[in-house]
């Protein structure tokens, strides 16, 4: 779950025989220290305000928080008298979410329920169907593969007309190891270099770079069309896409104006909102495989 600062190492530095780990159990403590009870600076200043606006949640409604981590969104909704069912595949993160939940007002604690469920496998049988007014997956979908079970499970849990909001690092401009900031000294332009985009790939995220036994998990890159396809296959119709820039500004200096302009023009995050449209007879298309 992103975007805490972490080192992305080249895939060849990890032994090929190591099994692919898609939950964050081994690095849960590290991630909880970075994000904490209320979320990172990016959560608070950019992501959560945007997610709440797209969800259009009202008091008393039911929301599903998929791949919830330590429950940052779930607690925020619970404080607004929204009933939340939140799940993650990492028991360690769910344990952290329950501990953080103890800090809520007593009248709000019962609004947030946490479960250990794997978003990469069929999980609808563990949730009430056609029940939730909306659902969200916040800064987690790029650590999940495959994503078709996630979209299908959410679609089954939503009421007809229910909204599913996905917030992620922007797949065009924030690919691990494949996108970089650059400076054109001649034109005095700060630019974003993109070396790869269209083909799916994965890269390990190491929690403690330099440590001999440091744990890692995976980031899975997919182009935008893959997210559109998976939502379509699940009967979810996209009705909004938003691109959110960083809120930060540069310190005074020769590059300040150019750097601030590039932040405004090149988004850091992308959000998709999709609506459950009911029984539509779509012919499903297979999800693209990730490379070994």
pLDDT in tens, 67-76: 999 999 999 9
Contact 151, 122 (CB under 8 A): no
Q: Indicate the pLDDT class of residue 208, thresholds 50, 70 and 90.
A: low
Contact 78, 112 (CB under 8 A): yes
- Domains delineated in the chain: 7-172+198-251+269-276 (3.40.50.150)
Q: Indicate the pLDDT class of residue 9, thresholds 50, 70 and 90.
A: very low
The number of helix segments (H) and strand segments (E) in the chain equals: 9, 12
Contacts of 280 (CB under 8 A, 6+ apart): 235
> What average pLDDT does range 80-89 have in this prediction?
96
In percent, the amount of the chain with pLDDT more than 90 equals 68
* pLDDT given at position 217: 78
For residue 20, is pLDDT > 70? no
For residue 39, is pLDDT > 80? no
> What average pLDDT does range 44-65 have in this prediction?
96
* pLDDT given at position 1: 44
* pLDDT given at position 8: 36
For residue 257, is pLDDT > 90? yes
> What average pLDDT does range 248-264 have in this prediction?
95
For residue 14, is pLDDT > 50? no
> What average pLDDT does range 122-146 have in this prediction?
96
In percent, the amount of the chain with pLDDT more than 70 equals 79
* pLDDT given at position 182: 96
Which residues in 129-178 belong to E strands, given as ranges? Answer: 132-138, 158-169
Lowest mean pLDDT among 19-23, 196-200, 206-210: 19-23
Which range has highest mean pLDDT (12-16, 35-39, 124-128)? 124-128
* pLDDT given at position 121: 95
Q: Indicate the pLDDT class of residue 6, thresholds 50, 70 and 90.
A: very low
Choose among 212, 224, 180: nearest CA to 13: 212
* pLDDT given at position 137: 98
Choose among 223, 210, 207, 141: nearest CA to 175: 223
Contacts of 18 (CB under 8 A, 6+ apart): none
pLDDT in tens, 270-282: 999 999 996 555 5
For residue 209, is pLDDT > 80? no
For residue 168, is pLDDT > 80? yes
Contacts of 281 (CB under 8 A, 6+ apart): none
Which range has highest mean pLDDT (26-30, 39-43, 108-112, 130-134)? 130-134
* pLDDT given at position 130: 97
Backbone angles phi, psi at 170, to 5 degrees: -65, 120
pLDDT in tens, 234-247: 999 999 999 999 99
Say how far apart CA 270 and CA 233 lie, in whole Å.
20
Report pTM.
0.84
* pLDDT given at position 84: 97
Tell me, rounded to whole angstroms, the distance of Cα 141 from its chain centroid.
4
């Amino acid at each position: 779950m992103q975007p805490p600062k972490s080192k992305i190492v080249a895939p060849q530095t990890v032994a090929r025989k190591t099994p692919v780990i898609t939950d964050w159990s081994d690095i849960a403590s590290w991630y909880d220290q970075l994000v904490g009870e209320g979320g990172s600076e990016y959560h608070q200043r950019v992501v959560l305000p945007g997610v709440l606006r797209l969800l259009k949640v009202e008091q008393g409604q039911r929301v599903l928080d998929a791949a919830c981590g330590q429950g940052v969104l779930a607690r925020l909704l619970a404080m607004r008298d929204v009933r939340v069912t939140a799940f993650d595949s990492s028991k360690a993160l769910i344990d952290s979410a329950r501990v953080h939940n103890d800090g809520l007002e007593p009248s709000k604690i019962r609004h947030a329920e946490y479960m250990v469920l794997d978003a990469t496998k069929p999980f609808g049988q563990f949730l009430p169907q056609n029940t939730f007014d909306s659902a969200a997956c916040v800064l987690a979908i790029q650590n999940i593969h495959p994503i078709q079970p996630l979209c299908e499970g959410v679609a089954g849990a939503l009421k007809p007309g229910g909204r599913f909001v996905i917030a992620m690092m922007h797949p065009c401009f924030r690919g691990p190891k494949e996108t970089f900031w650059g400076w054109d000294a001649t034109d005095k332009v700060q630019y974003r270099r993109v070396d790869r985009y269209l083909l799916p790939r994965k890269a390990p995220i190491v929690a403690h770079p330099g440590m001999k036994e440091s744990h890692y998990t995976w980031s899975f890159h997919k182009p935008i069309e893959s997210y559109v396809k998976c939502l379509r296959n699940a009967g979810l119709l996209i009705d909004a896409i938003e691109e959110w820039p960083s809120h930060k500004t540069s310190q005074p200096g020769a590059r300040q104006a150019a750097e601030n302009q590039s932040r405004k023009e090149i988004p850091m995050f992308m959000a998709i909102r999709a609506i459950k449209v009911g029984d539509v007879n779509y012919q499903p298309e297979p999800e693209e495989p990730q490379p070994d």
